[in-house]
Structure formats: structure tokens, C-alpha cells
Amino acid sequence: MTTTTITFVRHGITDHNIENRAQGHTQNPLNETGRAQAALVAKRLAKESWDVFISSDLRRAKETAEIISAEIGKPVDLYDERLREMDRGLIADTIEEERVQRWGEKWHELDMKQETHESMRARGLRFIEDVAARFPGKKILVVTHGYFLGQTLKELMGDETTGDKMCNTSVTTVYLDSGKWRYSLYDCVRHLDEAKDPVL
């Protein structure tokens, strides 16, 4: 039987990313650079064939997925809320300076209605277990979010030493080997490096 693989792609960069503004479930778009990044990763992904294509339903992920879809010639099969970024609650759409102004320097000690790490990791694992069961032996392409993905992979692999979040449009592939998930690729952005102008 063919091995089940899941390839995760983080969405392209947004102005919120650059400003270090909490995104959470906000529906902010990609910026111009983010759309260019998405086009580059799309060309990379078009070199392979995909059985199933799933994306987060948040705008920045959907835009990334739509750019990829046009290049690989496959529509998105499902937009799944379980792939959303960590819900930032009351601090969504704010930067640190605004949080201090609004709630004081100890705002992080207050109940900001943010999703817990345990809840976020649990929904990430549920998603992975679900798609692996539904699509055994298939190549699954998933567009999602950096912090959610980094934390979900820590939980999946039982490895807390990896990064907390992934690079924009990075490619990470896991495969199922005798009931255990393993990496074949982690946080790879060679498609961005290859697009840079050569040093003269």
C-alpha cells in the first residue's frame, strides 16, 4: 500500500506578519510579497501530483491556496476550520504597544479569551488523524498557519525542540511509517532562495 503523506504549506506573508500584529482568526489578506511567495511555492508544488487539497478557511490561507490551485490545476477540496491559526481572542489585530496602552503592561496576566495551546494542538492532531484515516495512501496537500502548524507538529512528533512557528510558504512533509509519523521535509523555503537574484 502506498504511504500516506501530508505536505503542509504555511500561507504567504501579510502586513500583520511584518508589523508583528496578532492575527489569530482575523481575515487579513496577503500583501504583494505574500502573493509573490505563494506563486513561487505553487510552481514548486506543481512538479508533483496531489490527491487531496485542503486549506484553512481564513483569508490569507485561502488566497495562498487559490494561487497554488491555479498553478497545480487542482481545486481545493475542502476549507477546514480546524486548520485556523491559534485564536488570539481580545488581542487579535493588535500589536504589543496597543495592548499595553489598552490593558497595561501586565495584560498577559489577564484573561484575553485566547485559545489554549492544549486546545490548538488537540484540534491539529484531530485533523491529521482524520485525514490520514479518510485518505489512506494518498498525497495530501494542506495550506495552514505558522504557529498552529509548529505547535501541532511538536505534539505529533513528541519533539519540543523544533521551532515554534514556520516560515511563510515553507513546505513540510510528514509520512506515516508503521503507525508512526516521520519527517521527509521540514520548514523548507528553497523556492524562495532559488528566486533571489544571484550575487554579482
Instruction: Kindly report the average pLDDT of the chain as a whole number.
Output: 95
Q: Does residue 66 have an active-site annotation?
A: no
Tell me the C-alpha distance between 9 and 6, whole Å: 10
User: Does position 77 have pLDDT exceeding 80, yes or no?
Assistant: yes
Catalytic residue among 25, 63, 85, 145: 85
User: Does position 198 have pLDDT exceeding 60, yes or no?
Assistant: no
Task: Kindly state the average pLDDT of the residues 55-76.
Answer: 98
Q: Does residue 117 have an active-site annotation?
A: no
Q: SS3 helix, strand, coil % of the chain, rounded to 5?
A: 45, 15, 40
- pTM (2 decimals)? 0.95
Polymer length of the chain:
200
Task: Kindly state the average pLDDT of the residues 158-175.
Answer: 95
User: Does position 156 have pLDDT exceeding 80, yes or no?
Assistant: yes
What pLDDT does residue 2 have?
A: 83
Q: What is the DSSP track for 81-97?
A: GGGSPPP-GGGTT--HH
User: Does position 40 have pLDDT exceeding 70, yes or no?
Assistant: yes
